[in-house]
């Protein structure tokens, strides 16, 4: 089918693949991008929040024509029990700036736009093409790919694996290990459509302002998990994700959790009367710094979710994907510009550049967080949320009980649930994992 | 306080989605077995599209038509060889309208 040889083949047209393909093509490299979906975005799922700064680094004037939903002016972090939520809300008019910092997006639409930019930059984008295997030379260097289309292998100097969280090619090609169930979360979400003005009324928004809610608590039924609600222009993305290992151990059904979240008294009024138009499921890498695999080798680099680059604490992923794609591309362009071969030794430049970026600096900072949250999930996701709700209610409710007795009861409840030593230990370990 | 118990019908959710099924080419297969392992059995509950079901002999079967290609079953069962997992052919499978 394609007889040509390319400077680079990018596998996948998600955030990292598009960033890599755009960066290389716009600097004159001959790029082929392969995508298994009918159109770029048709296989991609995200919440989704897009971070402007990282896209600006790639396409500075993206605001002119990118399909953006709402810019975020408010973030609500909730701890939920079965009947309540306790929250920290941050809303600031400072986020109503000329170049807003964060936007909600709808991936299928956004990815189509990004892919158009990739094609305008000069890359060849081929959809409906599943890459079935990597092609190696006698010395084991990756030199091309085979696809499910008729015809032979397609060759390139370097292959950028932007194949997403499942990473079939890399794991089957022996480039990295299979994901562990405790290092990956399964998230399900629904798209709830509502008139624009209803969303604005319910969340106190005007114009393109947006609000997001992220919540931990009993909604994940003791599993390590997170619920989320993101406002789009005329829809709400609502979902919940928990670790795959926890799902397997508890045999909970993700759609049952999602329906329970929808009927929670704090969520139900926000989506009342909506029309659901899609149900999606996707995996999210949660292993953090310690789960990052080998990032480069002879003739290949891996970027984005396939490289497990996801900051679970800050719920950032697409920006790490875009940045890793851009940096890998810049490293490749550099090697190419000095006529260097795409060897493991030369491609180590990608890792060096990534080490100096926020991507690996942030993941290093939280390297102990997954182990802490994942091994004590019922404490952090059920016990403490319940205690917080009781403490808050005890504080708010005026019933003639002397305040000193109320305070004693709250303290006693915490000690009864976790013991003095447990409380101190949880606090110390959390502090250490955070620093 | 009570949360109303609603029976979750995943079929109603999947009905909203767009698929292009590749007839006669299931992209996931379950290896024949006498008794399913704990992980394979868990798929009957954990698969977000409820593709896995227990037959009357107590074995796990799959109908991958509603599959959203998330990869959860692959994470849980591929290493042990209990399932064979591939992406659908290019252009086939789930086609997210919003994603």
Q: Which domains does chain B carry?
A: 17-94 (3.30.70.20)
Residue A219 tokens, joined = 């909604």
Closest residue in chain B to residue A133, using alpha carbons only: B86
Q: Which of A189, A213, A232 is nearest to A71 (CA)?
A: A232
Other beta carbons within 10 angstroms of residue A262's beta carbon come to: 20
pLDDT-based confidence at B6, cuts 50/70/90? low
The answer to whether the CB atoms of B1 and A109 lie below 8 A apart is no
The beta-carbon neighbor of B16 closest among A260, A265, A279 is A279
Taking an 8 Å cut-off on Cβ atoms, the answer to whether B42 and A251 are in contact is yes
Which of B38, B79, B99 minimises the CB distance to A41? B99
pLDDT given for residue A1 in this prediction: 52
Which residues of chain B neighbour A149 with C-beta distances below 8 Å?
A: 90
Enumerate the residues of chain A whose CB falls inside 8 A of the CB of residue B14: 279
- Note the Cα A147 to chain centre separation in Å: 27
- What is the sign of the dihedral through the CA atoms of A154, A159, A160 and A163? positive
A-chain CB neighbours of B91 within 8 Å are: 36-38, 127-128
Q: Which of A279, A334, A271, A268 is nearest to A301 (CA)?
A: A334
A71 and A103 in contact (C-beta within 8 Å)?
yes
Instruction: Give pLDDT tens digits for B10-53.
Output: 999 999 999 999 999 999 999 999 999 999 999 999 999 999 99
Closest residue of chain B to A105, computed from CA coordinates: B98
CB-nearest to A281 from B39, B49, B74 is: B49
| End-to-end Cα separation, chain B, in angstroms | 34
User: Is the CB of residue A160 less than 8 Å from the CB of residue A329?
Assistant: yes
**Per-residue pLDDT, A264:** 97
For A213, left (φ over 0), alpha (ψ -120 to 50), or beta? Answer: beta
CATH of domain A5-68+105-177+293-366: 3.50.50.60
Residue B1 — pLDDT band, cuts 50, 70, 90? Answer: very low
Residue B58 to residue B81: CA distance in whole angstroms: 19
Secondary structure of A225-242 as H, E, C letters = EEEEEEECCCEEEEEEEE
Cβ neighbours of residue A28 closer than 8 Å, sequence gap 6 or more: A122
CB contact under 8 A, A263 and B6: yes
CB contact under 8 A, A179 and B91: no
Mean pLDDT by 10 residues, chain A (435 residues): 83 98 98 97 96 97 98 97 95 97 97 98 97 96 95 95 97 95 97 98 98 95 94 98 96 96 97 98 96 98 98 94 98 97 98 97 93 82 92 93 94 94 90 85
Residue for token pair 């030369």: A346
Strand bridging mode A85-91 / B83-85: unpaired
The DSSP bridge pattern shows strands A31-34 and A5-11 to be parallel
Query: Where are the domains positioned within chain A?
Result: 5-68+105-177+293-366, 181-285, 370-434
Question: In terms of residues, how long is chain A?
Answer: 435
Instruction: Report the C-alpha gap between A380 and A246 in whole angstroms.
Output: 14
Number of neighbours of residue B29 by Cβ within 10 angstroms? 12
Nearest one of A394, A374, A96 to A222, comparing CA atoms: A374
Nearest by CB to residue A106, choosing from B3, B72, B98, is B98
What is the pLDDT at residue A308?
97
Q: Under a CB-based contact definition with an 8 Å cutoff, are residues A300 and A133 in contact?
A: no
Q: What is the mean pLDDT of residues B75-88?
A: 96
Residue to mutate among B41, B42, B96, with most A CBs inside 10 A, is: B96
User: How far away is chain A from the Cα of B34, in angstroms, using its nearest Cα?
Assistant: 20
For residue A376, the model assigns a pLDDT of 75
Residue of B nearest to A163 (CA): B87
Cα distances (Å, whole numbers) of residue A394 to A56, A87, A353, A389, A402: 47, 16, 52, 8, 11
Are residues A211 and A73 in contact, defined by beta-carbon separation less than 8 angstroms?
Answer: yes
Q: How far is CA A46 from CA A231, A239, A305, A424, B48, in A?
A: 13, 10, 11, 36, 16
Verify whether the Cβ–Cβ distance B99 to A179 is below 8 Å: no
> Nearest Cα to B19, choosing from B98, B69, B97, B94?
B94
The dihedral sign for the CA sequence A62, A66, A69, A75: negative
| Structural contact between residues A79 and A215, judged by C-beta atoms closer than 8 angstroms | yes
Secondary structure letter of residue A38 according to DSSP:
S
Which token pair is A114? 């990004």
The tokens describing A113, both together, are 């736009």
CB burial string A299-328: b at 16+ within 10 A, e below: bbbbbbbbbbbbbbeeebbbbbbbbbbbbb
Could A280 and B98 be called an inter-chain contact, meaning their C-beta atoms sit closer than 8 Å? yes
Residue to substitute from A126, A255, A265, interface B, most B β-carbons within 10 A: A255
Q: Phi then psi for A107, rounded to 5 degrees?
A: -60, -40
Token output for A248: 């397997």
Give the separation between CA B81 and CA B83, rounded to whole angstroms: 6
B99 chain-A contacts, CB cut-off 8 A: 41-46, 48, 106-108, 111, 278, 280
Note whether B25 contacts A: Cβ–Cβ < 8 A: no
- Residues A213, A227: Cα–Cα separation, whole Å: 8
Contact B52, B27 (CB under 8 A): no
Question: What is this structure's pTM?
Answer: 0.95
ipTM of the complex: 0.94
Asked if the Cβ–Cβ distance from A244 to B68 is below 8 Å, we say no
Q: Do B8 and A256 touch (CB under 8 A)?
A: yes
CATH of A181-285 among 3.40.50.261, 3.40.50.720, 3.30.1130.10, 3.30.9.90: 3.30.9.90
Beta strand A124-126 pairing with A31-34: parallel
Bond before A311 cis per omega within 30 degrees: no
* Confidence tier at B2 by pLDDT (50, 70, 90): very low
- The token pair at A369 is 């967080």
Tell me the β-bridge partners of A88.
Answer: A77
Helix, coil or strand: residue A12: coil
Q: A121 forms bridges with which residues in the sheet? A: none
């Amino acid at each position: 089918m394609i007889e040509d040889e390319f400077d680079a083949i990018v596998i996948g047209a998600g955030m990292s693949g598009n960033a890599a393909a755009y960066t290389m093509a716009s600097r004159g490299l001959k790029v082929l991008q392969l995508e298994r979906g009918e159109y770029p975005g048709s296989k991609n799922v995200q919440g989704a929040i897009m971070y402007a700064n990282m896209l600006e680094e790639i396409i500075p004037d993206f605001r002119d024509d990118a399909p953006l939903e709402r810019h975020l002016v408010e973030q609500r972090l909730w701890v939920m029990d079965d009947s309540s939520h306790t929250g920290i809300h941050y809303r600031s008019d400072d986020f109503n700036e000329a170049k807003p910092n964060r936007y909600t997006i709808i991936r299928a639409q956004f990815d189509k736009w990004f892919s158009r930019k990739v094609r305008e930059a000069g890359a060849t984008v081929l959809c409906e093409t599943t890459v079935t295997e990597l092609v190696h030379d006698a010395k084991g260097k990756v030199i091309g790919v085979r696809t499910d289309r008729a015809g032979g292998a397609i060759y390139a100097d370097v292959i950028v694996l932007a194949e997403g969280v499942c990473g079939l090619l890399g794991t089957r090609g022996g480039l990295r290990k299979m994901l562990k169930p405790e290092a990956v979360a399964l998230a399900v979400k629904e798209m709830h459509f509502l008139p624009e003005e209803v969303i604005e009324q319910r969340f106190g928004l005007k114009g393109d302002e947006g609000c997001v809610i992220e919540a931990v608590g009993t909604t994940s039924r003791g599993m390590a998990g997170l619920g989320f609600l993101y406002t789009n222009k005329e829809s709400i993305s609502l979902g919940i994700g928990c670790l795959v290992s926890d799902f397997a151990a508890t045999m909970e059904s993700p759609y049952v959790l999602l329906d329970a979240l929808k009927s929670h008294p704090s969520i139900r009024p926000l989506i009342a009367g909506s029309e659901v138009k899609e149900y999606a499921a996707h995996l999210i890498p949660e292993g953090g710094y310690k789960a990052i695999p080998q990032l480069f080798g002879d003739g290949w680099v891996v970027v984005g979710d396939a490289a497990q680059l996801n900051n679970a604490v800050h719920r950032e992923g697409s920006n790490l994907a875009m940045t890793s794609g851009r940096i890998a591309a810049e490293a490749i362009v550099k090697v190419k510009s000095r006529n260097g071969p795409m060897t493991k030794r030369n491609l180590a430049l990608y890792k060096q550049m990534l080490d100096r970026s926020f991507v690996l600096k942030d993941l290093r900072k939280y390297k102990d967080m997954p182990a802490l949250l994942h091994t004590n999930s019922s404490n952090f996701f059920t016990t403490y949320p319940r205690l917080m709700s009781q403490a808050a209610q005890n504080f708010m409710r005026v019933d003639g009980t002397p305040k000193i007795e109320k305070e004693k009861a709250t303290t006693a409840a915490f000690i009864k649930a976790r013991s003095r030593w447990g409380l101190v230990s949880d606090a110390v370990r959390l502090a250490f994992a955070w620093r | 306080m009570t949360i109303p118990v609603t029976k979750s019908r995943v079929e109603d959710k999947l009905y909203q989605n767009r698929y292009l099924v590749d007839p006669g080419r299931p992209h996931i297969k379950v290896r024949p077995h006498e008794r399913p392992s704990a992980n394979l059995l868990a798929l009957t509950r954990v698969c977000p599209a409820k593709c896995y079901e227990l037959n009357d002999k107590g074995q796990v079967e799959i109908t991958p038509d509603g599959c959203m290609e998330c990869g959860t079953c692959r994470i849980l069962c591929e290493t042990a060889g209990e399932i064979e997992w591939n992406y659908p052919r290019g252009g086939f499978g789930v086609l997210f309208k919003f994603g």
